[in-house]
Structure 1
Amino acid sequence: MKKDTEKKIKKQPEVSAQIAYQGIRHMLYTKELVPGQRILYRDLAEKLELSPTPVIQALKWLELQGFVQHEPRRGYSMAPFSLKELEELYEIRELIEPSLVPTAIEKIDKNGLDELKAALEAHLAADRESYLKERLFKNRDFHMTLASLSGKTTQVRILENVFDMLFLKYGGNYFPISSLSATDQAHQEIYDAVAMRSLERAQSVLKNHLTNVKIQVMTSIKKILAEQERKDF
């Protein structure tokens, strides 16, 4: 009985830190915390109804993941917006995702194909007017499902972290509305190629799709930044 009580006491800080971590991630998702913003951890603890200790632990985890930065005597702040980092995140996708296709096609069975088809249909069915929320995450689910079929858990975990950075830190939604149909078509073609076990076709469509997405996102953001600079003058 005594041992059980001791285990509960030991686990409690870890549980509180996880609650703080998920709470802060939600604030990133809802844009209550944005790149460059200063973080007052005591205010954050009060908002999350936790003590400062688990909040600081959660901030340390987020620092390791690139969301938060800490400076001695200045405290915590959200990591600043970086055009270079954003481009590198898309470059990582360009490297990892096509490299997983051969193993995914080699291993895929009926259940895996059904899973990929369900992810495709969920993305196609998502409301276009709420792309930032539902459709954007269904888009990620399709890509993560395809990657997961490879069974290469380390690379899949890295890819998952990349999507976290793209969607939680940068919002992820810089696509022009006109690109939605092109994305739908690319996903359909990727699925069809995988279903036919056409490796060359699947890799080719996926590579082109990821490159086009990177170009569209970077072009869109540079345009937004240029407009902001004009307004500042």
Structure 2
Amino acid sequence: MNAPRHLTLRERIYEEIVRMIVSGELPSGAPLDEKALTERLQVSRTPFREALGTLAKEGLIEIRPYRGFYVRSFSRKETEDLYELRKTLECFAVELAVPHMSDRHIEQFERILDAAVGALQAGDIQAYGLHDKEFHETISELSGNAALIETLARLALQIQVGRTIANESKVFAERAIRERDDILAAFRERNIARARQLMHAHISDVQRAVLERFEGE
């Protein structure tokens, strides 16, 4: 595992399992083969199960008695509820963040968006998703509301799984870039109402893209 040296073994296992889930290598509903994964990661069962316990608390892993560990499957209703909550929280974050945005912050958002566009043009959807995540997390941090930041952080992994599903569509990803460009323009104008409206529309677009997957199943 290519992990930073400062992480504990349990944290390294955690990060690798998260990567496999978010990338789709471990798809929704899939069982986790404990023997195969511990051998692949070259770790023992104890830290492996500790990492899965953390992921279970965060809602990405299900522990089924006598059956083992499974990647959590989200129902259509659970997914819809998650995105309705996300819209409320992130729009609130925008309202709080915009008044705190300096020109330096705007430049930071531009760099993030430039990197996202570059990843999209290179066909690297996984990198695009990471820049998208950074964009939203930066807004959250600028809100200055500790309770809001903590709540969004707890939902981050579930949101990231949804983001990965939506970003599988290149058309959606290109549309999302245009939406965020509009949001950036609202940031420059310090137009809170417009920025909030655009964020709500952007997340609603992601929500539709994710929920469309349920229609085909």
Is 1:95 the equivalent of 2:88? yes
Q: Is contact 1:68-1:79 (8 Å) kept?
A: yes
Q: Is contact 2:179-2:198 (8 Å) kept?
A: yes
Is 1:57 the equivalent of 2:28? no
Q: What SS is found at the alignment partner of 1:86?
A: helix
Larger Rg: 1
Alignment equivalent of 2:180, drawn from 163, 184, 187: 187
Aligned position for 2:144: 151
Aligned position for 1:132: 125
Q: Is contact 2:90-2:140 (8 Å) kept?
A: yes
Aligned position for 1:105: 98
Aligned position for 2:113: 120
Alignment equivalent of 2:15, drawn from 10, 14, 22: 22
Q: Is contact 1:112-1:149 (8 Å) kept?
A: no
Letter paired with 1:141: E
User: 2: CA distance between counterparts of 1:174 and 1:127?
Assistant: 10
- RMSD over equivalenced CA pairs, Å: 2.4
Aligned position for 2:77: 84
Letter paired with 1:53: T
Aligned position for 1:222: 214
Q: What SS is found at the alignment partner of 1:214?
A: helix
Aligned position for 1:42: 35
Q: Is contact 1:193-1:199 (8 Å) kept?
A: yes
Aligned position for 2:166: 173
Letter paired with 1:54: P
> 208-217 vs 176-185, which deviates more?
176-185
Q: Is contact 1:28-1:169 (8 Å) kept?
A: no
Q: What SS is found at the alignment partner of 1:76?
A: strand
Letter paired with 1:139: D
Aligned position for 2:3: none
- Structure 2 length as normaliser, TM-score? 0.84
Q: Is contact 1:94-1:210 (8 Å) kept?
A: yes
Q: Is contact 2:166-2:209 (8 Å) kept?
A: no
Q: Is contact 1:116-1:146 (8 Å) kept?
A: no
> 80-89 vs 191-200, which deviates more?
80-89
Higher RCO (CA 8 Å, separation ≥ 6 residues): 2
> 166-175 vs 85-94, which deviates more?
166-175
Q: Is contact 2:140-2:149 (8 Å) kept?
A: yes
Q: How much has 1:42 moved relative to structure 2?
A: 3.3
Q: How much has 1:104 moved relative to structure 2?
A: 0.8
Q: How much has 1:170 moved relative to structure 2?
A: 7.4
Letter paired with 1:86: T
